[in-house]
A and B are shown apart, each in its own frame.
Chain A
Amino acid sequence: MTTSQSGADLRIINTTKRFGDFVAVDDLTLTIPAGSFFALLGPSGCGKTTTLRMVAGLEEPTAGTILIGDEDVTWAKPYKRPVNTVFQSYALFPHLDIYENVAFGLRRRGVKDVKKTVEDMLALTELTGLAKRKPQQLSGGQQQRVALARALINQPAVLLLDEPLGALDLKLRRQMQLELKRIQTEVGLTFVHVTHDQEEAMTMADTIAVMNAGRVEQLGAPADLYENPSTTFVANFLGQSNFFDGIVTHRSGDYASVTVQGQNVSIPVSRVHTQGSSVHVGVRPEKLRIQYRDDAQVNDNDNRLEAVVSDSSFIGVSTQYLVDTAWGQELTVFAQNTHRDERLVPGAKVVVSWAPDHTFALDAAQDVDAGVEIDEDAATPDPVGATS
């Protein structure tokens, strides 16, 4: 069993996991490049934790292959894989002190002199001085760092983190997000981080795989996923989206034309993620510009609509508007409060406009409400999903 194989990719190939009739992971294929901070993002039950456990060896796949570099580890026992896990509940050994907890993996692998390595790791995770304590005597944040130290010290080819920050309060969580990112950059190992918190994933990861019902919906860098979602699930799960139903009328050159309620909307062809003619046209609330209709100034190229304000909420950094379109659809608009227009009150007639480059079009066959969830942990207020 080789120890650190930095320079080795993690490849999950056509992997399926069934629990009786329930398919937790559905023919998943994923390559996680060496040295990256990779996030598996998705709601509860989407299969992300199961995938993680299969990589760790704590679950056996029903079908498929898992490779670390060139080594096929699909059926290898957990203690024979160059993989370590930071568990959601930390799983620290209550009968051992911190020093022995951290040294556990080293000792099992027969490393003779662990003192310096352990002390260095304790310093890295800012736990020096707590070596003789027992886990029960530590705070949540400290326990989390012990769990990390214990896994990290073995320099695994892949470090798996199963929602490790879930039990921490908001402030501590933010702090730890930055810490983990810093450590990963410093140490250069591959981190695979499982979470349901989209902000956390976007903050920390180089690459995100959004998972839903056992499959990957979309894979990419946070900005790519956010700005150019290819499914309604991703569009709704990361941030919020407004959707209109439309028919593609024209699709040549750089831009496609889509008719929405009799009006023409322009979308770059690269952002139309379907070949069909029925589409959901999507645009994010913060990309919409809202102006009082009487003196609105809109660029010629921009898409525009007329609407009436039905609600406005001042949130400090921004104001959230709900507007009703002429055909009765409600849109959400986030306007940053740099030049706040006091006239935009309920009942006000407004023009909503946005750049074509900020539009995306998705297959109309997809559920327009997919991925819309009430996230109790999020710091932001309830996302008001787009309605059709």
Chain B
Amino acid sequence: MATTTATAAQQEAPAVRTTKRPSGPFRWVRERIIPIIGLLVLFYMFLPIFVVVMFSFNQPNGRFNYQWVKFSFDAWTNLCSVGGLCESLQLSLVIGLLATLGAVILGTLMAFGIARYRFRGRSGSNLLVFMPMATPEVVMGSSLLTWFVLLAFARGTTTILIAHVMFCLSFVVVTVKARIAGLDPRLEQAAMDLYANERTTFWRVTFPLVLPGIVGASLLAFSLSFDDFIVTNFNSGSTVTFPMFVWGAAQRGTPPQINVVGSLMFIVSLTIVLIAQVVQRRRKKA
């Protein structure tokens, strides 16, 4: 019996199509093509940073720091020996702090107004807030300049400050608004259910929960202000902020101290963000 079954099976069974596991020299690459490209792009983004950091340790011949000569700590130890650099740095920091303060206060108020209330002109307000973000800096800078000229308002630190608060405002509003919108309204209802009146609810529940957004907006505003060049350039008169110093240096001569400041900026900001990440991650686990 068994043999007949076997032969019958043999006659009926069709030829089996075998497939091989795909292989080949490019297989490995093809499967990982996206991560590879992604990392290459990331590398491309970081390449100048490496160069900046590397060349901060350079000791150039001549005025410009575009060629590697030899390794030296000079730039790091003599940061302020370059005329005007430290002064411009200090000015940028002060302006940054003041502009952040102004933009955050005005912007947070606006964000609450827009996010929390329905009123006529709400979509108009949204548009108004969006417009500075969508305007080229050249246009913003030049329009402010013409305005100041017409008003015979001397250009200097004050005008820089005014301009910075102006363009930081939109970013603060957008950031804080998003945070407010992401807040569960039932948390405030729960607070009121638990005997907190409107004021207490705001300060004990709403504000603490929006605070991370405000902090983020502050960091954003500060970095925008500190790093701004075009609008500042148009409205600074003869005052020199750090980006303006760098611009001038590109014409006059680029000391490696510029790279030192650049490296420091990078390290400090990266550290802040990484710390924030670690804190967040630890909060989630515990």
Query: Is A89 part of the contact surface with B, judged by Cβ < 8 Å?
Result: yes
Binds A, one of B52-60, B100-108, B195-203, B217-225: B195-203
Query: Is B32 part of the contact surface with A, judged by Cβ < 8 Å?
Result: no
Name B's interface SS.
helix
B195 touches A93 (CB 8 A): no
A137 touches B284 (CB 8 A): yes
A105-B187 in contact given A95-B209, A133-B286, A136-B284 (Cβ < 8 Å): no
| Residues of A contacting B205 in the complex (Cβ-Cβ under 8 angstroms) | 93
A137 touches B192 (CB 8 A): no
A interface residues (Cβ-Cβ under 8 A, vs B)? 56-58, 77-80, 83-85, 87, 89, 91-95, 104-105, 108-109, 133-134, 136-137, 150-151, 154
Q: Give the interface size class of chain B.
A: 20 to 34
| Residues of B contacting A95 in the complex (Cβ-Cβ under 8 angstroms) | 208-209
| Residues of A contacting B193 in the complex (Cβ-Cβ under 8 angstroms) | 56-58, 78-79, 83-85, 151
B286 touches A91 (CB 8 A): no
In the bound assembly, the distance between CA atoms of A93 and B194 in angstroms comes to 12
| Residues of B contacting A94 in the complex (Cβ-Cβ under 8 angstroms) | 187, 209
A57 touches B192 (CB 8 A): yes
| Residues of B contacting A56 in the complex (Cβ-Cβ under 8 angstroms) | 193
B197 touches A77 (CB 8 A): yes
Q: List 22 A-B contacts (CB under 8 A).
A: A56-B193, A57-B193, A58-B189, A58-B193, A77-B197, A78-B192, A79-B195, A85-B193, A87-B189, A91-B186, A92-B190, A93-B190, A94-B187, A94-B209, A95-B208, A104-B194, A105-B194, A137-B285, A137-B286, A150-B194, A154-B194, A154-B195
- Closest approach, in angstroms, between the C-beta of A149 and any C-beta of chain B? 12
In the bound assembly, the distance between CA atoms of A104 and B194 in angstroms comes to 7
| Residues of B contacting A78 in the complex (Cβ-Cβ under 8 angstroms) | 189, 192-193
Nearest CB to that of B190 among chain A residues?
A: A91
B187 touches A93 (CB 8 A): yes
In the bound assembly, the distance between CA atoms of A134 and B196 in angstroms comes to 21
- Closest approach, in angstroms, between the C-beta of B154 and any C-beta of chain A? 46
| Residues of A contacting B208 in the complex (Cβ-Cβ under 8 angstroms) | 95
Query: Is B191 part of the contact surface with A, judged by Cβ < 8 Å?
Result: yes
Nearest CB to that of B205 among chain A residues?
A: A93
| Residues of B contacting A105 in the complex (Cβ-Cβ under 8 angstroms) | 194-195
| Residues of A contacting B31 in the complex (Cβ-Cβ under 8 angstroms) | none
Q: Which residues between 91 and 114 of chain B lie within 8 Å of chain A, taking CB atoms?
A: none
Give the one of A57, A93, A154 with max B CB within 10 A. A93
B interface residues (Cβ-Cβ under 8 A, vs A)? 184, 186-187, 189-197, 200, 205, 208-209, 283-286
- Closest approach, in angstroms, between the C-beta of B271 and any C-beta of chain A? 25
- Closest approach, in angstroms, between the C-beta of B59 and any C-beta of chain A? 51
- Closest approach, in angstroms, between the C-beta of B231 and any C-beta of chain A? 37
| Residues of B contacting A136 in the complex (Cβ-Cβ under 8 angstroms) | 283-284
- Closest approach, in angstroms, between the C-beta of B213 and any C-beta of chain A? 13
B187 touches A108 (CB 8 A): no
- Closest approach, in angstroms, between the C-beta of A286 and any C-beta of chain B? 40
- Closest approach, in angstroms, between the C-beta of A164 and any C-beta of chain B? 13
A108 touches B190 (CB 8 A): no
A79 touches B286 (CB 8 A): no
Determine which of B194, B196, B197, B209 lies in contact with A84 in the assembled complex, contact meaning CB atoms within 8 Å: B194
A91 touches B283 (CB 8 A): no
- Closest approach, in angstroms, between the C-beta of B285 and any C-beta of chain A? 8
In the bound assembly, the distance between CA atoms of A258 and B43 in angstroms comes to 87
In the bound assembly, the distance between CA atoms of A151 and B195 in angstroms comes to 11
B286 touches A108 (CB 8 A): no
| Residues of B contacting A80 in the complex (Cβ-Cβ under 8 angstroms) | 195
| Residues of A contacting B209 in the complex (Cβ-Cβ under 8 angstroms) | 94-95
| Residues of B contacting A87 in the complex (Cβ-Cβ under 8 angstroms) | 186, 189-190
A134 touches B286 (CB 8 A): yes
In the bound assembly, the distance between CA atoms of A174 and B247 in angstroms comes to 71
A108-B196 in contact given A95-B208, A136-B284 (Cβ < 8 Å): yes
In the bound assembly, the distance between CA atoms of A74 and B193 in angstroms comes to 15
Give the one of A56, A89, A91, A151 with max B CB within 10 A. A91
In the bound assembly, the distance between CA atoms of A91 and B192 in angstroms comes to 12
- Closest approach, in angstroms, between the C-beta of B216 and any C-beta of chain A? 16
- Closest approach, in angstroms, between the C-beta of A137 and any C-beta of chain B? 6
- Closest approach, in angstroms, between the C-beta of B183 and any C-beta of chain A? 10
A79-B187 in contact given A93-B205, A95-B208, A95-B209 (Cβ < 8 Å): no
| Residues of A contacting B184 in the complex (Cβ-Cβ under 8 angstroms) | 89, 91
